[in-house]
Amino acid sequence: MNTNAGLYIGSCGRCREAVHAGSACQALGKLFHGACFTCTECGRGLTGEPFYLVSGRIYCDKDFLRSVVQPTPEVCGGCGLSIPDTVLQARGRSYHPSCFRCPTCRRALEGLPFTVGPDGQPYCLRDYHRRWAARCAACLEPICPLQGSKETTRIVISDRSYHVECYDRQVKHV
The secondary structure of 70-92, three-state, reads CCCCEECCCCCCEECCCCEEECC
Q: Nearest 5 degrees, angle CA 27-CA 30-CA 32? A: 75
* pTM beyond 0.85: no
Segments in the chain below pLDDT 70: 1-5, 68-72, 173-174
DSSP conformation class of 138: T
User: Tell me, what's the pLDDT at 69?
Assistant: 65
Beta bridge partners of 161: 136, 156
Query: Interior CA angle at 28 toward 23 and 30, to 5°?
Result: 50
